[in-house]
């Protein structure tokens, strides 16, 4: 997708701090961290959000990557994975992504 921020990051056309990469997934530090660890985990294929993912094996690739990143970052006390979807869901970048956050205690449903 030509005008997609995350496609540009994946292609290396915009800078990012890479945390993890494989054939299907790219993960980088969020520019506006909401926790000591805040990684954006992105499928290399462009999907606007969850509703466009018709091949569920793609989600498996993301979960595999998240498990590897969690191991790599050694977040023993737990972590939070968030997928904001659509306007009411608070999604601001229209390329499917999962926020992986750790390093502090999170409240629920907010905080």
Please give the Cα distance from 39 to 70 (Å, whole number): 10
Q: Which residues contact 29 (CB under 8 A, 6 or more apart)?
A: 16, 17, 19, 38, 39, 40
Q: Is 53 in the site for Zn ion (CB under 5 A)?
A: no
Please give the Cα distance from 66 to 34 (Å, whole number): 18
Nearer to ligand AMP, 57 or 87 (CB): 87
Residue 39 touches which member of ligand AMP, Zn ion, none, C-beta under 5-8 Å by kind: none
List C-alpha distances in Å: 67 to 9, 60, 64, 73, 80: 22, 11, 5, 10, 12
Residues noted as catalytic: 97
Give me the residue whose beta carbon is nearest to Zn ion: 4
Residue selected from 44, 45, 93, 103 as contacting ligand AMP according to rule CB under 6 A = 93
Site string for Zn ion, 70-99 (x = CB under 5 A): -------------------------x----
Question: At which residue do the structure tokens 């601001």 appear?
Answer: 92
The CB-of-46 to ligand AMP minimum distance in angstroms stands at 14
Instruction: Catalog residues that contact ligand AMP under the rule CB under 6 A.
Output: 5, 16, 28, 30-32, 40, 84, 90-93
């Amino acid at each position: 997708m030509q005008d997609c921020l995350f496609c540009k990051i994946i292609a290396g056309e915009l800078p990012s701090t890479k945390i993890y990469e494989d054939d299907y997934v790219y993960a980088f530090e969020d520019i506006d961290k909401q926790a000591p660890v805040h990684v954006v985990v992105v499928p290399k294929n462009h999907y606007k959000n969850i509703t466009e993912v018709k091949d569920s094996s793609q989600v498996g690739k993301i979960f595999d990557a998240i498990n590897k990143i969690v191991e790599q970052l050694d977040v023993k006390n737990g972590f939070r994975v968030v997928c904001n979807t659509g306007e009411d869901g608070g999604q601001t970048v229209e390329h499917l992504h999962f926020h992986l956050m750790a390093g502090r205690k999170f409240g629920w449903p907010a905080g």
